[in-house]
Amino acid sequence: MQIAEIADVAGRLRAQIGRVVMAQDRAIDSLLVGWLAGGHVLLEGVPGTAKTLLARTFARSLRLDYRRIQFTPDLMPADILGGAQFDFRQNQLAFTRGPIFTELLLADEINRTPPKTQAALLEAMQERSVTIDGESHALAPAFFVIATQNPIEQEGTYPLPEAQLDRFLLKLRIGYPDRDDERKMAAVHGRTVPDLDAFGLEPIVDAVFLAAARAAVAEVRIEPAVLDYLVDVVRATRQHVAMHAGASPRAVNMLAAAARASAAVQGMDFVIPDHVQQLAVPLLAHRVVLTPAAEIEGLTAVAVIDQVVKQIEAPR
């Protein structure tokens, strides 16, 4: 597959999804980057900012098996993974697969369920498999999680632990649209529940495309100077005075993989410093821990990552 084909698909996705969710081209590209890089994406924003609508529209634009789980305080791990149930016809226990056995999973409001249930996703998101009663069950190669969450200060939410956050390649913050886009939303939708069927959404790509696209992305070049820059950005998060814990070595690999995918989405067969800079906040900010003193001063992980990027000189 040629890189130009990936860029063409990205353009078609932007055009189709943009008819439903306005002013989210960067988020659409980020979802595609996550899918191509073999990662998962977390969408965070206050209720009503079209997080779930964006995920549903993206899912409809891919020819993949799709399931949605509404995370609630009473959701149990077995509700996600499945488990053994007694089959009265066969007079024996039989394994029943849960909704996690799909290709694209929408984990809606993931931080409204307790950590015990959140942990049910850890193995699946990292290893693409599920272990139940000592037996491992493989998930589809295209397995991809899009999760949404409300800010942790909202009532009835459970902060995602560091291990769970680390399973997400990118964390995107979905904010308020500007006035023109908000007016366009009212003109296009203008109802309490958006009707996706009215938009004539068609699947643009499938799992066959994904396999070929991932092979092409793996061939995207990272020149030594750019690779040095990428590594220095990650290492600098561990040395910043405001950091209690910086990004792990795994973040270096993730940043390299995402940078390759981002370059391909933009139609380029090589990574440039701009790709690293664009991905620094969504890929690193949820992987670092600030010192208590920095939090008291009102610093945020996003602001510190921005500082780190500006401090490291990019290669020409």
The pLDDT of residue 90 is 72
- The answer as to whether 122 is a domain residue is yes
Q: Mean pLDDT per segment of 10 residues, for the chain of length 316 residues?
A: 94 94 91 96 92 93 94 93 77 83 95 91 94 89 94 78 92 92 86 80 92 96 97 96 93 98 97 97 96 93 95 92
Whether 165 maps to a domain, the answer reads: yes
Find the length of the chain. Answer: 316
- List, in sequence order, every beta strand (DSSP E) within the chain: 41-44, 62-63, 66-70, 82-87, 92-97, 104-108, 129-132, 135-138, 144-149, 170-173, 205-206, 243-245, 289-290
Specify whether 23 is located in the same domain as 8: yes
The answer on 273 and 125 residing in a single domain is no
| CA atoms 186, 189, 194, 199: torsion sign | negative
Region at 256 (left for phi over 0; alpha for psi -120 to 50; beta for the rest) = alpha
**How many structural domains are present in the chain?**
2
Which pair of structure tokens corresponds to residue 243?
């950091």
Let me know whether 2 and 117 are in one domain: yes
Same domain, 23 and 172: yes
User: Quick check: is 252 in a domain?
Assistant: yes
Distances (CA, A) of 208 to 63, 223, 266: 10, 29, 21
Per-residue model confidence (pLDDT) at position 204: 94
Q: Which two tokens stand for residue 162?
A: 């560091």
Contacts of 105 (CB under 8 A, 6+ apart): 66, 67, 68, 69, 99, 143, 144, 145, 146
Instruction: Specify whether 155 is located in the same domain as 20.
Output: yes
pTM exceeds 0.75, yes or no: yes
* Final residue of a structural domain among 176, 191, 219: 219
Q: Are residues 69 and 36 in the same domain?
A: yes
Domain finish residue from 219, 238, 264: 219
Contact status, residue 138 vs residue 223, Cβ threshold 8 Å: no
Say which residues have a Cβ less than 8 Å from residue 48's Cβ, sequence separation at least 6. Answer: none
Residues 160 and 203 in one domain: yes
Q: Residue 84's pLDDT is what? A: 73
Return the pLDDT at 150: 86
| Domain hosting residue 209, numbered range | 1-73+103-129+139-219
**Same domain assignment for residues 231 and 117:** no
Which of 219, 235, 261 represents a domain boundary (last residue)?
Answer: 219
Q: What CATH number does residue 9 fall under?
A: 3.40.50.300
What's the CA angle centered on 234, arms 232 and 235, to 5 degrees? 65
Residue 302 has a pLDDT of: 95
What is the rounded CA–CA span in Å between residue 182 and residue 171?
23
Residues 171 and 30 placed together within one structural domain of the fold = yes
What integer pLDDT is reported at residue 66 of this predicted model?
94
CA atoms within 13 A on the CB side of 205: 24
